[in-house]
Amino acid sequence: MSAKSKPSGIRQGKARHLVTEIILHCSATMTTGWFDDLSFAEKIAEITRWHTDPKPKGRGWRAIGYHWIIDRDGTLARGRQMTEIGAHVVGHNAGSIGICLIGGGGSSKRDRFLENFTREQDTAARRLIQQIKAATPITKISGHNEYAARACPGFFVPEWLQGVM
């Protein structure tokens, strides 16, 4: 792709919704000590269980709702394929990519990023966002807390994007 050409874009679902937004989330787990003895794969399996177990304990979804998960050391794992519609923000799933950071338990929506997450997660999230932007015309990057009355992802995404840490 030349520097002047625009990405053709990632399309989701049968309706082929163009992906134009990235929405950040947190696992709402403790920032330190949460499953320290488990592998990243085991942590992802636990989050998947939260999403797929039948109600009332789980959400009853068919798969994990996020497209990407970032562990405390910056390791990335794919959840849903980016061509699949996620299950991460009611009313905003089609045309968006959901990224979940491990941590954020007890956070508030105006905390600074490093109060709940690591520098490695910061680097990995920024790098992943740039990779997604190279593949599709992203017009908005937001946090779950911009769409729902909750702390998730545990910081205010617009300030984080401007480098306010």
Tens of pLDDT along 40-93?
A: 999 899 899 999 989 888 888 899 999 999 999 999 999 999 999 999 999 999
Q: Is the CB of residue 139 less than 8 Å from the CB of residue 147?
A: no
Q: Which residue's structure tokens are 């050409």?
A: 5
CA 149, CA 88: separation in Å to the nearest integer?
14
The CATH superfamily assigned to 11-161 is: Peptidoglycan recognition protein-like (3.40.80.10)
Strand ranges of the sheet holding 140-143, from the earlier edge strand across to the other edge: 76-78, 68-70, 96-101, 21-26, 140-143
Q: Model pTM greater than 0.85? A: yes
- Please report, rounded to a whole number, the percentage of residues in the chain having pLDDT higher than 70: 92
